[in-house]
A and B are shown apart, each in its own frame.
Chain A
């Protein structure tokens, strides 16, 4: 069975659910069967959050098997590492270069970066996407920029992503997110 899957990982409040909804919608518009699953922690904010989007001719399971994910979309570095068992050497990882603190614990960022560098995946795009978003005037556009980068590696035409942004986001956020998406598409050229 030919299934492509994208695993979204991050922290509650990061916008994982919205980002994965946009990808799922784009997959549907492109004519694929698609299934999606979300895992939220117990807390409204701050817990680990993940979502899988799986698409192909026919998809049964909404969740992934370990070692089977082709793409990972990580909004935070510790969470990226928490899900490495789902990756394989052919996986491509797009990660925001940032750490969200954990209550009662100190995180050694250098060590986290070392761990990430030790991963032998096909492509690792680790970048301070939040800085890009600030350049565009809104830190909340980070995920959409990352989606733009991701889209260049997926077998889905760009136009379906723009349509999906229109379908998923409220009207007032559409234009600014379409701009952020285009920014990400351009950025992807640096990493091609």
Chain B
């Protein structure tokens, strides 16, 4: 048999997927969330695996845990805030342990490129007493992922595999034989009442197992090659992990580096020995002082966050500045060019986005309080649309609206949520709103896709991650089945009808559900009608059309103009324009 090594440039997320496959994982589930989404999107391409989107991270986690108990190596994927949703099964799966290897892949987002907070998931490993593995680039991501399944089986535990945006979304070179598999083995579904049924009498015993396992993991952390020393030529000692390692290596190529890849539990003894060689040792880690605290608790003399920020994403400049403050780096290169004052380029809803008319309508209604949710439509909070007063987490739009509606009657409450988010954690709050008779209006923006993360299918799409068709779930019928009487669908490109409906239902006392039905303009297939144009003679320059924040509309020489390449012909600008005939299809001009 000949071996043909393939050399490729892949992203961290692709590398995680390749590592999972090479590690013989055959089941993956999760909920899309930047920066984790591409892991399953890549994994699904292997013909012999099951890869699926779940309605939320808890469901995905539990499905993968089930597959593990059935004897199949499995993993769940999510972003950091998703681990909050899956925290419940995480805590107890630490007690049950696994059968075949089970890995929880979680991608943190330092710098909040597209997230509502920048929590550090490493804290969850300590909380759940499970091992934590952290790669620093795609090459490591591939190898470490394979290794994670072995650790999971060896210690009968879920393993948290933590990435960050910069690891997941940066690209680097890997080399692999696409056919080789890691110890393929047959495991069977196990019935083990004392291990898998966490009633108190069993759980009390299992907790002791977890505590003992942690002691074993501490020993393992001292031995594993994931924690290694890279000797240097000067007298500087650095302890680092994940992406921060790369910045340190580039700035201080001659330093002695303790590279942590297995970061919970920490290799305390090995680090204690390492630290002894130097007068001063720095811990360089992104976000929380996780390693620093572990080492200080063990009485090891190190410094860390004294010189580095606990918020925001690291980069070469920040790490260099910290090393400078700590006195490790003497000369610092200076910036050459100064920044210019420039207009910011804020994110905007796409041209033709069906969310735009809804927010324009809501913006125009007085005395309403609008609770928002997580999705593209969160951009409806930004001016000029400015039609959203809260955003906390997925599903919170409806549940917070219930609280606000029950607590006061001065302002009418409107909850805005997307279809994927509704299936994620919006259904239960809608049941709450109905059961507890909240006087509110719920607008479920059903564009039939998880748009913000790049167009992944959801239960209303009608096809799965693997491309198999199913009968899509109709949100209208689902809401009606809960017993809600006032449920309406509307085509929001029909601006006037939509506006009348929304105004009527907001004024109606009791619970109403409105489902705007236009699909996402980008997915599943791009929808484009004839572009529009502005008739310059008729345009009065009132700028009403600019208030819908469409990237296709610009303003020059006191007139609106429409970029015909960007325009999708959705006609929302035409509907809001006060002048009849000022905006027309391009060829009718």
A52: shortest Cβ distance to chain B, in Å? 9
Map CB proximity to A onto B325-369 as digits: 1 under 8 Å, 0 otherwise: 000000001111111101111111111000000000000000000
In chain B, what residue has the closest Cβ to A116? B340
A64 to B350, CA, bound (A): 30
Is B316 an interface position by the 8 A CB rule? yes
Contact A103 B137 (CB under 8 A): no
A27: shortest Cβ distance to chain B, in Å? 9
A106: shortest Cβ distance to chain B, in Å? 7
Contact B343 A78 (CB under 8 A): yes
A18 to B112, CA, bound (A): 24
Contact B166 A62 (CB under 8 A): yes
Contact B345 A104 (CB under 8 A): no
B7: shortest Cβ distance to chain A, in Å? 7
Map CB proximity to A onto B525-564 as digits: 1 under 8 Å, 0 otherwise: 0000000000000000000001001110011100000010
Contact B347 A43 (CB under 8 A): yes
The segment from B63-71, B219-227, B243-251, B425-433 that touches chain A is B243-251
Contact A78 B336 (CB under 8 A): no
Contact A37 B169 (CB under 8 A): yes
Contact B114 A88 (CB under 8 A): no
Within the complex, which residue of A44, A46, A64, A84 is in contact with B337, where a contact is CB–CB below 8 Å? A84
The segment from B170-178, B199-207, B399-407 that touches chain A is B170-178
A68 to B384, CA, bound (A): 38
Within the complex, which residue of B172, B247, B551 is in contact with A103, where a contact is CB–CB below 8 Å? B551
A95: shortest Cβ distance to chain B, in Å? 14
| Contact of A44 with B522 at beta-carbon distance under 8 Å, contacts A67-B336, A104-B549, A115-B340 already known | yes
A38 to B379, CA, bound (A): 22
Within the complex, which residue of A39, A42, A63, A115 is in contact with B347, where a contact is CB–CB below 8 Å? A42
In chain A, what residue has the closest Cβ to B345? A48
Contact B339 A85 (CB under 8 A): yes
Map CB proximity to B onto A89-104 as digits: 1 under 8 Å, 0 otherwise: 1000000000001111
Which residues of chain A are near B549, meaning CB under 8 Å? 103-104
Chain A, 106-127, CB within 8 A of any chain B CB: 106-107, 115, 119
Is B113 an interface position by the 8 A CB rule? yes
Chain A, 46-62, CB within 8 A of any chain B CB: 46-48, 59-62
A101 to B549, CA, bound (A): 12
Is B581 an interface position by the 8 A CB rule? no
Is B464 an interface position by the 8 A CB rule? no
Within the complex, which residue of A33, A43, A62 is in contact with B379, where a contact is CB–CB below 8 Å? A43
Contact B347 A46 (CB under 8 A): yes
Contact B346 A34 (CB under 8 A): no
Is B472 an interface position by the 8 A CB rule? no
Contact A42 B345 (CB under 8 A): no
A81 to B343, CA, bound (A): 11
Which residues of chain A are near B342, meaning CB under 8 Å? 78, 81-82
Contact A67 B9 (CB under 8 A): no
Contact B337 A67 (CB under 8 A): yes
Is B62 an interface position by the 8 A CB rule? no
- Count of A-B residue pairs with CB < 8 Å: 146
A125: shortest Cβ distance to chain B, in Å? 18
Is B320 an interface position by the 8 A CB rule? yes
Contact A36 B253 (CB under 8 A): no
Chain A, 3-18, CB within 8 A of any chain B CB: 3, 11
In chain B, what residue has the closest Cβ to A63? B315
Is A24 an interface position by the 8 A CB rule? yes
B261: shortest Cβ distance to chain A, in Å? 15
A62 to B434, CA, bound (A): 50
- In this complex, the member of B346, B549, B550, B555 whose beta carbon has the largest number of chain A beta carbons within 10 angstroms is B346
User: Interface residues of B toward A: which range?
Assistant: 35 or more
A115 to B340, CA, bound (A): 8
A89 to B336, CA, bound (A): 8
Contact A47 B345 (CB under 8 A): yes
- In this complex, the member of B113, B452, B551 whose beta carbon has the largest number of chain A beta carbons within 10 angstroms is B551
A105 to B341, CA, bound (A): 14
B249: shortest Cβ distance to chain A, in Å? 4
Is A66 an interface position by the 8 A CB rule? yes
A153: shortest Cβ distance to chain B, in Å? 19
Map CB proximity to A onto B450-475 as digits: 1 under 8 Å, 0 otherwise: 01100000000000000000000000
| Contact of A43 with B350 at beta-carbon distance under 8 Å, contacts A61-B250, A62-B166, A101-B554 already known | yes
Within the complex, which residue of B246, B340, B347, B351 is in contact with A81, where a contact is CB–CB below 8 Å? B340
Is B317 an interface position by the 8 A CB rule? yes
Contact B171 A35 (CB under 8 A): yes
Contact A28 B350 (CB under 8 A): no
A33 to B250, CA, bound (A): 14
Is A128 an interface position by the 8 A CB rule? no
Contact A41 B345 (CB under 8 A): yes
Within the complex, which residue of A45, A66, A84 is in contact with B551, where a contact is CB–CB below 8 Å? A45
A119 to B333, CA, bound (A): 19
Within the complex, which residue of B170, B173, B563 is in contact with A33, where a contact is CB–CB below 8 Å? B173
Contact B9 A103 (CB under 8 A): no
Contact A87 B336 (CB under 8 A): yes
Which residues of chain B are near A25, meaning CB under 8 Å? 9
Contact B551 A46 (CB under 8 A): yes
Contact B317 A66 (CB under 8 A): yes
Is A192 an interface position by the 8 A CB rule? no
A117 to B171, CA, bound (A): 33
A17: shortest Cβ distance to chain B, in Å? 10
Which residues of chain A are near B317, meaning CB under 8 Å? 65-66
In chain B, what residue has the closest Cβ to A45? B350
A161: shortest Cβ distance to chain B, in Å? 15
Which residues of chain B are near A38, meaning CB under 8 Å? 169-171
Which residues of chain A are near B315, meaning CB under 8 Å? 61, 63, 65
Contact B250 A1 (CB under 8 A): yes
Chain B, 362-401, CB within 8 A of any chain A CB: 376, 379, 383-384
A44 to B556, CA, bound (A): 25
A64: shortest Cβ distance to chain B, in Å? 7
> Given known contacts A35-B171, A66-B317, A101-B563, what 11 new A-B pairs fall within 8 Å (CB)?
A41-B347, A45-B350, A45-B351, A68-B333, A78-B345, A81-B342, A82-B340, A88-B337, A89-B336, A103-B346, A107-B343
Question: Could you list 19 A-B pairs, sorted by A, with CB under 8 Å?
Answer: A24-B9, A25-B9, A35-B170, A38-B171, A42-B347, A43-B379, A45-B350, A45-B566, A48-B345, A62-B246, A65-B317, A65-B333, A78-B345, A82-B342, A84-B338, A87-B337, A101-B551, A102-B343, A102-B344
A-B complex: 9 closest residue pairs judged by Cβ atoms? A62-B170, A43-B347, A65-B316, A36-B171, A42-B347, A60-B246, A60-B249, A101-B554, A37-B170
